[in-house]
Structure 1
Amino acid sequence: MVTSSILVLFLLGLTAAAVLAAASKVLHVEEDPRIAEVEGCFPGANCGGCGYPGCNAAAGAIVKGEAAPEICVAGGPEIAENIAAIMGLEASFKEPKVANNICTGGSRANLLFDYEGVEDCRAEALLYGGEKSCGLGCLGLGSCVKVCGFDAIRLNEDGVPVVDMNACVSCGKCAEVCPTGAIRVSGMTMDLLHLNKIDDCLAPCMQKCPAQIDVRTYINQMKNGDMRGALLTMKERNPLPLAVGRLCPAPCETICRRNIADDGVAIHTLHRFVADWEMNSGSRVNLNCNPPSGHKVAIIGAGPAGLSAAYFLRRIGHEPVIFEKREQTGGMMKGVIPEYRLPSKVVDWEVQTILDLGVEVKNGVEFGKDITFETLERDGFEAVFIATGAWKVPALELENSKAEGVMDAVTFLEEVGKSITDLKGKKVVVIGDTNTAMDVVRSAARLDCNVTSLVGCIQRKMSANKNEVKRATELGSELLFLTKPTRFIAENGKVSGVEYIEVQYKDPKKALGDPLPVEGTEQTIDADLVVIATDRVPDMTPFTDAEGNIPFKINKKTGGIDCDKTSMQTSMPNVFVGGELHTGRSIIIQAVADGRMAARGIHHFVTEGEIPEPKNPQLRVIPESILKNMDVTYTIPRIKVPEITVEERKSTFKEEVKGSIVYEAARKEGSRCLRCGLTCYDAEAGAEYAQDSDVQKFSELGKE
């Protein structure tokens, strides 16, 4: 019985084998030999980062024409070129990408529960909702480390993943298993053009900065001696760190979380220190640029916004050309802002860094006369960014406003050192409360004259930065608050004085609205020169046709050209706008930010034909990031920056008022940074200086 059963099974097996053999001959399909050749080019990682289940499947897709030769994420350009040669194709440029961790929190954030034995981030998040009160926090169980097949990720002592940029092949596996989005894969274009999102790990300073500079990272890099890394972090958002480090009023410092405990970190000072490090070294840090894409972009105006847009467009591979009306490049940074605030050599260094990337500037070319939107389109420019600034000072419609000796602030500042070299014994009246007005006051005082400024509000309501107001008064200038000119007095066509009246708010305590004239308070003041510095507005003349029409919508609030708030695209689809032509009178960091946002919009427009709306953009400060109390251990006095004396200032235009700081002082100030996340912070910041005599524990303050 057993023997017969075995025989039956043997015959069945033999029959099945025969059938399968016959079927294989009938159904056999010869595999394209190129699949094996292509697969042989791959590094054999089988990581799946390309989207196919292994290298063989990816090779098959390439041979079928379903995938490009550069599909392999683990391979470089050489592998792509080898595959392209097999297929008789040309490999196109593929921008490399790497993983990066946006969370630096570790054990500093508030814990919601104990892990209770769970050892996988996804399971932890699924079962308990995650470790931190911050929804972006790294759970620290190392799921990303476990899935990485290239040993590119490790956990540091705080349980936070650290990515080895040289080992990472951007397969994306780590990002796939991260349940909170703490790890993301990105490339240079994405990094340079990324706009802050509410689901990013944003410190308050990053939220407040118009340019979205990663303050906590560059301060930490500087503190650890990585000056090159700190500079590159800054230049991901700001191509003009030298100028910004001197001119920015630092809104980031007012919201610094350290203010809750003592004084905010001197972010502005550290920003300048890092930027000065590069210039003082005499050599420029190398900035990577993608190969030319063939997309030409015209930029009208070589000020901060135009230079910023050109910088970002060139770095991501496009070909910007700047057209500038003046013979100098730099906008108001060159020849208007005084040397003692921003030296020409600093501007020249900064501009040259951008030109060295391959950006072309054509000086002496005026829009509306030498070039137009039509001529630029004929010349092959696919998009235009207009950033001609706000150079026009509105005239005051007062009696004798056109008398000799009445001039606008921009003209005055341009002529200082040229036609205006000595005002000794003269009486100068400056009208306005702007930063430009304070520049005029400070410059006039240096020319040995008597300066009086009529300011139509109280000091805290001035649009000028409080430090600029302080600098003006230190030179002996008189600021007459709550005063308004009513007419100019002239003799033989030349100004000789100003009549003004006192003004007051309806409710002086609240100081709301425009101050109103107080009857019976009219006075006069002698003047040899009157400088109007009440405002600066864009000049729309270059964009106005013969009938007086402007092809753009004008923002009634700013007086500038209106546009989409994130793409900077105007009502003309191929025209973008930024800087003071859009915002009206503003600060330099806003112009830099506009240039970057415009570069993002232009990039999508010329490559895709449409501009995607950013998802969850961070447009205002995130409420939960504003804390009321903090448990910080150490207090370290804020750094004091050296300055030249008031007497020295009176005699020089060339020397900067603020001096330099040394590395150890910068490092100590950097240690005050709490390395904040969205809701977490480093309570032990500054511990390395605990033994210094000027460092105290917060718990001991007031006990002495």
Structure 2
Amino acid sequence: MTVAILVMLGIGATCGIILSVASKVFYVYEDPRIGEVEYFLAGANCGGCGFAGCGAAAVAIVEGKAKPGICVAADSEAAVNIANVMGVDPGTAEPMKSLNACSGGDRAADKFVYNGAMSCSAMSALYGGKRVCSIGCMGMGDCIQSCQFDAIHMGPDGYPVVDESYCVGCGACEAVCPKGLLSVKTMSQRLLVFNQDDQALAPCQQTCPAEIDIPRYIRLIREGDYEGAVHTIRERNPLLLSCGRVCPHPCEEYCRRGLEDEAVSINQLKRFVADYEMNSGRRFPIACAPDTGKRVAIVGGGPAGVSCAYFLRRLGHHPTIYEAMSKLGGITRYGIPEYRLPDKVLDWEIEGILNLGIDVHYNTRIGEDFTIQSLRDEGYEAIFMGIGAWKDYTLGIKGEDLKGVWQGINFLSTVADHPEKRISVGRRAAVVGGGNSAIDCVRTLLRLGCEEVYIVYRRTRKEMPANEVEIVAAEHEGIKFQFLAAPTRVIDDGQGNVKGLEYLQMELGEPDASGRRRPVPVEGSETILDVDMVISAISQQPEISFMENEADKENIEITRWNTFDNDPETLQCSVPYLFTGGDVATGPSLVVDAIGGGRRAARSIHQYITGEEVQGSPKSLRKQHISESLFDSVPGVIPSKRTPMPELPVAERIDSMIEVDQVISEADAKHESNRCLNCCRVCYNPDVVSIAPSIEACEEGSRNAA
């Protein structure tokens, strides 16, 4: 018995030694994070993530082959916990959603008859598919077959429609689409998508400086989904109330309906849904990614700075705005009069943006209260320069120092900054220039009590760069236009006051670099205009004298136009931590251009502070057009009257700063949205207006409702 026990003990000891040696020789290390990650996964082993089970998914996450938010069954909290285990940016924990970029469906003509295997992949292999649209949906529904969660169905117009409430972001649809039309992205990724030449884009969207998906938001208005329309616009433009009032809508110049009829009133529709939210009594929710803790300084609270801050905050970062004035808005507040953009509207819009968690330092001027270097010393990981163009160009003529001579932006900002004070104006005034600032000045002068106001412009009305609607409004209000006139001196009354403006008559010669005919002076044609006030509104440039005291000034490149030199695709400056947008990047431009620049810079800043390579969007259009999408004619369009802009009569508006342009009615918005052809690169709906009510019927309905 004793011997047997000893033998067993010996065998056991031998086995233990062998196993101990084997564990050292054949040791397989397992990263302890795999178990932690798997703990936070749902444990469903459903395979919806594309891996064999939760264990395989956990391994993929730890090996960097999958993101923390890959699990389609777990919630966002689980994804955040996994991100913390991995020590990565919690912003990567955002849920993925599928998006179909094509609304073309079966509208594009067929180039051949297809009777093969009924799948998109098979059709694509045959000359790229049967339809003439090189980018459009095949319509065979491979994506629908691939979805295990019933999140995609074939819509009535022959293209797949994604139901985001069912979509789990597994990516199966994206994987099977041979045209790459379906993409699975997080909210942050969708915010930072830029127009590319291989996307399904209507000409209007290609033209929009903010790259708003115009056909989509118009379609949502047509369907009555006003909140969805607002969210669609906000993916690209946070200042939709402002743009709905002041944007010159270059998109409408490329509206296909305009080739055969009048263009769709795109901007009025934007204003309609923007005002709808403002007047609804609630703010539509704006989603933000999980906090990253990364800080960015925004210098300048104009449209570029506010937009950049908005997109950075939605990406989970912490922007802080440094603003020289007492309120945000920049040129939209201090350069655009209240009769075009009321302060209360701008206040409401900016309040909603700041509510996302954006800090602001008011009355804080760069070069006096802080420097670029001091911001770096405070720990900001990147800096955005959006200071605008506030320095007026002078006329360069004798007498500009006389009392009664103003510069355009200085005049407008003085009026805006002191609304409680009525600035003293002359009885007769001349404003030199032909742009929007000049028009704003003359219409403001009328409202301040000036009896007779002139626009003095060296070319003709045809060459004026101001918005046509603004020129027409000025004409209606009685502004006088002195065309082909180039000022030569301001005349002194002998006591240092303005007595008149002398100008030379001009005639148009050959076109200059801008394409406009060059004005040529007519010798001996000096003429005096009897005025006691002169405003120069010929253009502006950024004021960058603060750069003289910057520690890094030798490395920060400035152009001869006083703008920050930058990569036009990424807006990154010559020092890697500095980015720019708006007028200080491009020179004076449109508000919507500044908004687009703010978003573009936010994308690059996001790349920079998260350790990615700062690079532009591949195949970026940047307001260029896809040649195949530009038509000479649009057959089949049924003419339909464009909704007129409602405005206050001249007699009711001329003595105050009350808003002139009014919002269209809901009935008119329905009518106007039905005029949209719902273009998608090469296809369109020529007969869509056949189901639309006439403008007269809409007006009758509005009267009855009232």
TM-score (norm 1): 0.89
Instruction: Tell me, yes or no, if structure 1 residue 256 matches structure 2 residue 290.
Output: no
> Which residue, out of 454, 470, 482, partners 2:484?
482
Question: 2:690 maps to which residue?
Answer: 687
Summarize deviations over 1:297-352 as a string: whole Å, max 9, x none: 00000111100000000001010000001112111222431111000001101110
Tell me, what secondary structure is at the counterpart of 2:529?
strand
| Distance 1:228-1:512 versus aligned 2 partners, 3 A rule | closer
Please say which of residues 312-321 and 289-298 is displaced more in the overlay. 289-298
Question: 1:396 maps to which residue?
Answer: 395
Question: 1:209 maps to which residue?
Answer: 208
Task: Read off the aligned partner of 1:295 and give its amino acid letter.
Answer: K
Summarize deviations over 1:506-537 as a string: whole Å, max 9, x none: 24999845312110110112221111111111
Q: How does 1:560-599 map to 2 (within 5 A)?
A: 560-599=563-602
Instruction: Tell me, yes or no, if structure 1 residue 414 matches structure 2 residue 413.
Output: yes
Tell me, what secondary structure is at the counterpart of 1:222?
helix
Task: Read off the aligned partner of 2:362 and give its amino acid letter.
Answer: N
> Which residue, out of 469, 472, 479, partners 1:470?
472
Question: 1:449 maps to which residue?
Answer: 451
Tell me, what secondary structure is at the counterpart of 1:281?
coil
Q: Supply the distance in 1 between the matched residues of 2:445 and 2:270 (Cα, whole angstroms).
A: 29
Q: How does 1:257-336 map to 2 (within 5 A)?
A: 257-336=256-335
| Distance 1:561-1:70 versus aligned 2 partners, 3 A rule | closer
Q: Supply the distance in 2 between the matched residues of 1:331 and 1:204 (Cα, whole angstroms).
A: 30
Q: CA deviation at 1:612?
A: 2.3
Question: 1:436 maps to which residue?
Answer: 437
| Distance 1:639-1:200 versus aligned 2 partners, 3 A rule | same
Task: Read off the aligned partner of 1:470 and give its amino acid letter.
Answer: V
Instruction: Report if the CA contact (8 A) 2:104-2:684 is conserved.
Output: yes
Q: Supply the distance in 1 between the matched residues of 2:57 and 2:299 (Cα, whole angstroms).
A: 46
| Distance 1:613-1:35 versus aligned 2 partners, 3 A rule | closer
| Distance 1:297-1:535 versus aligned 2 partners, 3 A rule | same
Q: Supply the distance in 2 between the matched residues of 1:497 and 1:548 (Cα, whole angstroms).
A: 47
Q: Supply the distance in 1 between the matched residues of 2:695 and 2:325 (Cα, whole angstroms).
A: 53
Q: Supply the distance in 2 between the matched residues of 1:515 and 1:91 (Cα, whole angstroms).
A: 58
Summarize deviations over 1:148-175 as a string: whole Å, max 9, x none: 1111111122331111112111111111
Instruction: Report if the CA contact (8 A) 1:70-1:92 is conserved.
Output: no
Instruction: Report if the CA contact (8 A) 2:671-2:695 is conserved.
Output: no
Q: CA deviation at 1:411?
A: 2.3
Q: CA deviation at 1:472?
A: 1.6
Instruction: Report if the CA contact (8 A) 2:260-2:637 is conserved.
Output: no
Instruction: Report if the CA contact (8 A) 2:643-2:695 is conserved.
Output: no
Q: Supply the distance in 2 between the matched residues of 1:214 and 1:457 (Cα, whole angstroms).
A: 36
Q: CA deviation at 1:31?
A: 12
> Which residue, out of 573, 576, 600, partners 2:603?
600
Tell me, what secondary structure is at the counterpart of 1:410?
helix
Q: CA deviation at 1:75?
A: 2.8
Q: CA deviation at 1:567?
A: 1.0
Q: CA deviation at 1:690?
A: 6.7
Q: Supply the distance in 1 between the matched residues of 2:103 and 2:343 (Cα, whole angstroms).
A: 39
Instruction: Report if the CA contact (8 A) 1:340-1:656 is conserved.
Output: yes
Task: Read off the aligned partner of 1:427 and give its amino acid letter.
Answer: R
Instruction: Tell me, yes or no, if structure 1 residue 504 matches structure 2 residue 507.
Output: yes
Please say which of residues 176-185 and 38-47 is displaced more in the overlay. 38-47
Question: Which consecutive residues of structure 2, in runs of 5 or more, have no partner in the other structure?
Answer: 1-21, 699-706
Task: Read off the aligned partner of 2:461 and give its amino acid letter.
Answer: Q
Q: Supply the distance in 2 between the matched residues of 1:550 and 1:393 (Cα, whole angstroms).
A: 26
Q: How does 1:129-168 map to 2 (within 5 A)?
A: 129-168=128-167
TM-score (norm 2): 0.88
Q: CA deviation at 1:46?
A: 1.1
Tell me, what secondary structure is at the counterpart of 1:543?
helix
Q: CA deviation at 1:683?
A: 2.1
Question: 1:378 maps to which residue?
Answer: 377
Q: CA deviation at 1:211?
A: 0.4
Q: Supply the distance in 1 between the matched residues of 2:432 and 2:124 (Cα, whole angstroms).
A: 61
Instruction: Tell me, yes or no, if structure 1 residue 617 matches structure 2 residue 620.
Output: yes
Instruction: Report if the CA contact (8 A) 1:296-1:318 is conserved.
Output: yes
| Distance 1:178-1:286 versus aligned 2 partners, 3 A rule | same
Q: CA deviation at 1:221?
A: 0.4
Task: Read off the aligned partner of 2:45 and give its amino acid letter.
Answer: G
Q: Supply the distance in 2 between the matched residues of 1:343 and 1:518 (Cα, whole angstroms).
A: 43
Instruction: Report if the CA contact (8 A) 1:39-1:59 is conserved.
Output: no
Instruction: Report if the CA contact (8 A) 2:506-2:522 is conserved.
Output: yes
Q: CA deviation at 1:635?
A: 2.2
Q: Supply the distance in 2 between the matched residues of 1:335 and 1:88 (Cα, whole angstroms).
A: 47
Instruction: Report if the CA contact (8 A) 2:298-2:319 is conserved.
Output: yes
Question: 2:10 maps to which residue?
Answer: none
Q: Supply the distance in 2 between the matched residues of 1:694 and 1:264 (Cα, whole angstroms).
A: 20
Task: Read off the aligned partner of 1:489 and give its amino acid letter.
Answer: I
Q: CA deviation at 1:71?
A: 4.2
Q: Supply the distance in 1 between the matched residues of 2:67 and 2:502 (Cα, whole angstroms).
A: 76
Q: Supply the distance in 2 between the matched residues of 1:76 and 1:693 (Cα, whole angstroms).
A: 51
Count of matched residue pairs: 664
Summarize deviations over 1:383-425 as a string: whole Å, max 9, x none: 11011111111222211211111111122223334554454x7
Q: Supply the distance in 1 between the matched residues of 2:526 and 2:515 (Cα, whole angstroms).
A: 22
Tell me, what secondary structure is at the counterpart of 1:503?
strand
| Distance 1:512-1:573 versus aligned 2 partners, 3 A rule | same
Question: 1:199 maps to which residue?
Answer: 198
RMSD: 2.9
Q: CA deviation at 1:65?
A: 9.3
| Distance 1:565-1:507 versus aligned 2 partners, 3 A rule | closer
Q: CA deviation at 1:571?
A: 0.8
Instruction: Report if the CA contact (8 A) 1:75-1:169 is conserved.
Output: no
Q: CA deviation at 1:140?
A: 0.9
